Structure 1
Amino acid sequence: MQDNINQLPTQEEDFELGQLLRRIVEIWPYILLSIVFALGSAYLYLRFQVPTYQVESKFFVKEKENSLGLFESSLDFMQDMGLNNQMIIMKSRPVAAAALDKVDFSVEYHRQDFFQRNELYPSSPIGVEVDWTHPQLCNGDIVISWSDVKKFQVRYTDEEYAQVWQSENRRQTVENPISPEGTFPFGEFITLAGNKFKVELTGVQEEGEIILRLRDKESLTNQYAKALRVEPEEKQASIVIISLVTQTPAKGRAYLNALQEVLLDRELSEKNAVAGNTVEFIDKQLLLLSDSLLFTENRLRDFRSTNATYDLSSEGSLLFTEMSALERQLGEERLKRNYYRQLKDYLVRENYDNIVVPSGIGIQDPILNSLIMNLIDLQADKSMKLAKLTETSPPVREVNQKIRDLNNSIREVLNNVESNAELTINDLQSRINRMEGSFTALPETEQGLVRIQREFALNEGLYTYLLQKRAEAAITKASNMPANKVIEEARMMDGFVSPRPVRIFALALSLGMIIPVGFVFGKMKLNTKVIEPKELERQLKIPLIGSVGRGKDKEPLVVMNSPRSVVTESFRSLRADMSYLVPRQKENLTLLFTSTISGEGKTFCSINMASVYALSGKKTIVVGLDLRKPRIANEFGLSNDKGMSNVLSQQADWRKLVKSSQYDNLDLLLSGPIPPNPAELILQDYMAEVLDEIKAAYDVVILDCPPVGLVSETRDLFKLADASIFVFRQNYSEKAAIELPNSLVEKGGVKKLYAVLNDVHLNTGYGYGYGYGYGYGYGYGEKSGYYEETKK
């Protein structure tokens, strides 16, 4: 039992799949037409779409050594923020603006073909020079057309332009500008209401039309900064891939190459800035020392000339040497102290642009050097972020907090080193003071010479020291090279980014098949009517004994009037089946016809079933028991003045009310006038007595009963018939109605209940090859001449 239950869903799915496949086969011309239409639409779409390409280059970011001798990758510098510092720099607006300064993208030249509009780069039949000091209409089409080599015309074709004052960084929107009238000469600047530019022919094309688009710097910068993609080639790799999607690959390559050049120039500029600040600081110190050195040199010369004293004694020479060494050391310590104080002043004022790295002036303090380099890097990172963000944005605020923390750390270090420098200066000064006491033993003239010569030697030593450091800084600046480098120049990748023809055609092919198939599938799923005979048979718990086709011109007496039609043959098949469904020993046969609702064809089936029995020589009568909505009289062209309503109300004997049809062996007992109480009349015991008398008089009794889904009395008539036939109508009966005969069998205890599907017709695409008469007849008999031609 469990196995049977498990098999039910599979059988149902197989049936639905088979039904869907049959419908697909039936509509294959429409599927083919849909595919052709979809592929044609895809072709036109591809012809009208301008293809986009991807250009990319590879850029290497070298690991650099910091002041502490540790290595750090600038790709991982801002890893805690989830962004890469170098990637932010590459995608920033200042870098994009600097790259655009190296290429000329301010004028775009386009040509409109029949299908597509293509940009002409790098060559065009005309060249345009724009006067950006004049306001310009930008970001809209300006059509330049000419018919000879001397003059041209200008037209504005877009509805909206941006009026740009580039020198003032100001813009406004202009709608529907009026095109200038007349013609303008080539090779001369023309001033219009919205533009000022010069157009020159670059080739020998005597006539033509080119579409210009002037692009201001701000819109270009925004476009390329947003379009640029930067990502590591591999996770935690130092090589990044810089890519750009563009409709003009040549422009994309030019921009990426310019961008990489800007990145290298920017890195070199940052390195040179450190050396430049060192040179500038030393130059200021040299400027002060040069005056002192010149002054002491003149004093020394004058003193020697006046006193005729040129050489020192051995004792004076020894004192001079020792004191000069101490004074030179003292001068260097004072220079360091001055640097510490100046640096502290920069930190207090938060002026980080002119900071000098300590190692540049000979201060070998690894901690201070590292802190200063980190501060310079943070300040550079902040500048890049401010190009895209505001001071209040979280990334900028985070960098500011790091700068403040580093500022405090540097100031604490400066306090310590300045204190140490002060102690060293005081110690040196005290040692010099003690040695000056030895001068009293020297002659007075020699004492004066030693003092002046000491001062000169001190200034000369400091000057020489600073000159050496300046030379070192200048050499460093001159020898600076970018640590990063270009791995691959920009190149166009293979294939289109969009549209992709293979993908578009595959999608069109899929849609061309899916849409009609989906329509059929949706129609099947949403349909609530009984259509497929096999589906009806699968859901019914009573036998489906056959299907009845649609008669010609909906003729009610199709059996009598078209005895060779396929519909007539279907009723003959039903008649043949009755011999197997009803015991053969019975002398007469009583069949009951009913349905769920009115209009399903129970009366049609009743009278035609009676007709096939009458044609076979059986004495047949049709009894109209549908007392509420009688139809038999209309089908035979009779008057429904008297009938079963009179018999059941015992107003007349049924024998006197039987009417003969115009056909042999076929009588009619009509329903008669509509009574006020049809249910009570049928449910009385007298009904069974009358029916027994009718059965005794006729070989076949056909009961045309009311729809069992609308009235209740039919349920009690089932026991009076040898077989009851429940009529469904294709594309009319609701699927929910299938539960009614099932319920009659399971809960009502009705026996000998069978089903027939009526009005099965060709244009639904269902019913072929099914049933006992209609399907086989149409498939073979009609074409072979057994049956008459039946029109749809």
Structure 2
Amino acid sequence: MANNENAELEELIRNAGNGAPSPVIESGFEEESSGFDVTTLLMVARRSVPWIILLILLGVTSSWMFLRYTKPTYKSSSTLKIDEKQEAGALGLGQTLGGAEGLQTVNNLSGEVELIKSNLIYRQLKDSLNLDVNYYSQGTVLEAELYGTSPFHVEYDVQDSRFYNTRFGVLFTGPETFQLTHEKNEEPREYRVGTPVDLGGAKVVITKTRHFDEDVVNNNYHFVINDDAAINQYFDDNLSVEIVNPEASTISISFTDHNLRKAHDIVNRIDTVYLLAKLSKNTQGQQQIMQYLDQQLELTRDSLQRAEIALQSFAKRAKMYDVRGGVATITQQLEGQEKERQALQRRLELLTSVARLTSREQISRDENTGVEQSVPGLALLEDPVLTQQIAELNLAQQDLRRVLRSNTEATEAVQQRRAAVEYAKRNVRESLEQSLRVVREQLGALNQQRDKLNSELQVLPQRETERARLQRPFDLYEKSYLMLMDKRVEYSIAKAGTTPDFQILSPASMPSAPISPVRLIVYAIGLAGGIFMGLGLVATRYFMHNSVTNIRELERNSIAPVLGVIPTYDKEKLLVSRLVVDKNPKSAISESIRSIRTNLEFMASSKKKRLISITSTISGEGKTFVTVNLAGIIASSDQRVVILDLDMRKPKVNLAFGAENVKGISTILIERHTWQECIQHTSIPTLDFISAGPTPPNPSELILNPKFDEMLSELHQHYDVIMIDTPPVGLVTDGILIMRKADVPIYIVRADYSKKAFLKNINKLVRTNGFTRLATILNDARSSGLYGYGYGYGYGYGYGYGQGYYEDTQPRRSWWQRLRKQFS
């Protein structure tokens, strides 16, 4: 790998020898630097692992807290099959409604759904389940409803409506005493069990139940008295009635509540109450039909009795009953005409009855009969057009009654149905008037024929004529009476077999687990939320990551070659940079700097005398530390090295060696001292340094002074390597002036400190100023940042501002120290 790096370095120098970097290098760099950095992402993810674990724990804890402080909700449901029957079918009139049967079946299910959710069912539920008072036990966190298990029972008489839907606190201080609190009472008072308590607008009596035991004493309970509106709202919010399968006429009834037993009992009770309501509805319709049949039988019976009495009187008075043979033919004709006339008369009566029924103006919501149910002999009209119109009128009336059950007279739906009924009535009236006119004309014609025959019978005995006249109404009333009797017997038989027109396919189920919250789903959401936030944290830290952390990032974002990496090494904390390679010659930091010294040999191998400048973008990136320790490593190879501190605005080299800064570069350039007078020696015999000297007002002008070049020339005669600690090029221009004179300019980048934007300054120096030999060093790199250089010892150095140095025998950190390091 070292050979490949050296080859790439030499190729870069050759391409840049013409004064500008290679376009191939520039395009390759730009293309690579704009890509996705997997190494940085993995580094960010590794450092975020403790936070990810913390966020996942936070998500799971949030799920646990949600489950801990949320009441579970249970659901109980049942399935019913509706089999609605038509009352006209029991009267033998079902064939006339065949065309409307399908429409009624479709509308029937929606009507049954509204019936179940009506106040009629709600009132019976309140009366049968005692839902007007709710009892609760106060737990540590949540309250629990004591449905059916309350240790006490409350009887109340509320005069002031403000006592409804409010909380009454109960605390049993003994087996027979309790304290009752309410928001209207300033202080709780003690009462005896079974004694009426007058609260000034409400009276309550609290008695014990079979669930009362010694554990009830000193426990907090409360109850709420609900008014009708609150109970109805409770049903509306929790009751659900849905059509499951319209073709099979099945509906589902479900109820949700925090108490599973309460939900189960309510669904069971709804099924029972609905059964009673349907039976009551069917019985009411049957009673109305039976009442109509009884009225018609009574009227026909009276007419038949009068006809019988008339025949008996005639027989006694005439003392004869046989018809003469001479008038047999005429009598037969008269009888045939009379039959036809009677049929027309019956039809006229039936039309008249229908006209009377259709003339009714209003229809109430409780009516269950129409024209067809009220007129059993409607089929005798023998008028298909009129029959169809009556059927349409009946359907319109049924639709109006269905809408009236759930709407008022002022609603648009009721007004539209009434308009449809009136329209159907007008059609029926027009047909009835036309039929009545035709029947009357036919009766007139028959009367004319009868008069003609009677004139022929004038010669016949008047008594025979009178007998025949009396016989005809008797036969008519007798036939009508027998027909009505048959219908009454048939309907009585049908009434005796009346059953509910629905079946319970699936009774109410006892909930085994709450429908919400589902523990598995809640924990899954918490876990997924923690993971998502952890991934979001990694993504955010990755996109906000703007500092150089490893050698890979330095290579991707800079076109200058990398001389090496100096690892982090923490031991003693130092306030300033110092020479440490002489004290730890076998440490990882010494080995890394020796590698940098070897790489320097390739960059200036043809020169025995070398000038090396070391700079950085800003202060604090470690250029002084690298300068003194690299100089120490070079000096240890039997080369004479001198360090020049040209950072005259902020000198640090003298601090690294613990020397004074009374004289130095600034005094040499103004010719106050010679360089020999300013030379200071170190612990390494071949390593000397010249401090910056007093800070001058014009450091840049001093560097441009020809005296500076003379000083360098004289130093080259006595030293093999001149190391210059230059000012940061990101702050002042002094460093660029010095880098132009250097054989190998070195740029220091500090891991986790230098911004990626600083690397653009390196590229600018190479492109604009033609620093083709410019090289970089990654300083203060952790083991994860030593990618590609093999310094994975886990040891390093620190410098300046609280950084320290450790020997290779650094003790292993505890898990808590490592975890805290991750969060820092």
Provide TM-score, normalisation by structure 2.
0.76
Output the CA distance in 2 between the equivalents of 1:429 and 1:472. Answer: 37
Residue identity in the other structure for 1:341: A
Offset at residue 490 of structure 1 (A): 0.8
- 2:193 corresponds to 1:193: no
Provide Cα deviations, 1:100-142, integer angstroms capped at 9, x if missing partner: 4443322223333445533333343333344478857333433
SS at the partner of 2:189?
coil
SS at the partner of 1:701?
strand
Residue identity in the other structure for 2:576: P
Output the CA distance in 2 between the equivalents of 1:714 and 1:530. Answer: 22
- 2:675 corresponds to 1:655: yes
Structure 1 match to 2:265: 254
Structure 2 match to 1:139: 165
- Identity, in percent, stands at 24
Within the candidate set 198, 201, 217, 2:228 is matched to: 217
Offset at residue 323 of structure 1 (A): 6.9
- 2:370 corresponds to 1:356: yes
- 2:746 corresponds to 1:725: yes
Provide TM-score, normalisation by structure 1.
0.79
Offset at residue 702 of structure 1 (A): 1.8
Output the CA distance in 2 between the equivalents of 1:109 and 1:534. Answer: 70
- 2:134 corresponds to 1:108: yes
- 2:522 corresponds to 1:522: no
Provide Cα deviations, 1:474-530, integer angstroms capped at 9, x if missing partner: 655554444432111010354321232333334444455665565455334333333
- 2:587 corresponds to 1:563: no
Structure 1 match to 2:7: none
Residue identity in the other structure for 1:730: A
Offset at residue 252 of structure 1 (A): 1.7
Structure 1 match to 2:3: none
SS at the partner of 1:242?
strand
Distance 1:558 1:627, change over 3 A: closer
Offset at residue 275 of structure 1 (A): 4.6
Structure 1 match to 2:626: 605
Structure 1 match to 2:237: 226
Provide Cα deviations, 1:506-557, integer angstroms capped at 9, x if missing partner: 4444455665565455334333333345444443333442034256323434
- 2:420 corresponds to 1:420: no
Structure 1 match to 2:46: 22
Residue identity in the other structure for 2:765: L
Q: Which aligned pairs between 1:457-476 and structure 2 lie closer than 5 A?
A: none
Q: Which aligned pairs between 1:433-452 and structure 2 lie closer than 5 A?
A: 434-435=449-450, 438-439=453-454, 441=458
Residue identity in the other structure for 1:379: L
Offset at residue 427 of structure 1 (A): 1.8
Residue identity in the other structure for 1:23: R
- 2:593 corresponds to 1:572: yes
Structure ranking higher on relative contact order (CA contacts 8 Å, 6+ apart): 2
Structure 2 match to 1:172: none
Output the CA distance in 2 between the equivalents of 1:429 and 1:257. Answer: 66
Structure 1 match to 2:612: 591
Q: Which aligned pairs between 1:615-630 and structure 2 lie closer than 5 A?
A: 615-630=636-651
SS at the partner of 1:492?
coil
Distance 1:110 1:131, change over 3 A: same
Structure 2 match to 1:300: 310
Residue identity in the other structure for 2:238: A
Structure 1 match to 2:817: none
Distance 1:203 1:270, change over 3 A: closer
Structure 1 match to 2:212: 205
Structure 1 match to 2:350: 336
Q: Which aligned pairs between 1:118-133 and structure 2 lie closer than 5 A?
A: 118-131=144-157
Offset at residue 291 of structure 1 (A): 7.1
Structure 1 unaligned spans of 5+: 157-174
Asked whether the equivalents of residues 624 and 704 of structure 1 are also in contact (C-alpha less than 8 Å), the reply is yes
Offset at residue 183 of structure 1 (A): 0.6
Offset at residue 222 of structure 1 (A): 2.1
Structure 2 match to 1:170: none
SS at the partner of 2:508?
strand
Structure 2 match to 1:168: none
Superposed CA RMSD in Å reads: 4.7
Distance 1:134 1:714, change over 3 A: closer
Offset at residue 262 of structure 1 (A): 4.1
Output the CA distance in 2 between the equivalents of 1:408 and 1:84. Answer: 25
Residue identity in the other structure for 2:675: R
Distance 1:48 1:786, change over 3 A: closer
SS at the partner of 1:108?
strand
Distance 1:737 1:266, change over 3 A: farther
Distance 1:154 1:625, change over 3 A: same
Distance 1:493 1:202, change over 3 A: closer
Residue identity in the other structure for 1:229: S
Q: Which aligned pairs between 1:373-388 and structure 2 lie closer than 5 A?
A: 373-383=394-404, 385-386=406-407
Structure 1 match to 2:91: none
Residue identity in the other structure for 2:154: V
Provide Cα deviations, 1:202-255, integer angstroms capped at 9, x if missing partner: 327344254323333322222222323344556865433332332222222222
Distance 1:646 1:38, change over 3 A: same
Asked whether the equivalents of residues 726 and 754 of structure 1 are also in contact (C-alpha less than 8 Å), the reply is yes
Provide Cα deviations, 1:582-626, integer angstroms capped at 9, x if missing partner: 333421332222222233222333233334334555332222333
Distance 1:756 1:479, change over 3 A: same
Distance 1:302 1:34, change over 3 A: same
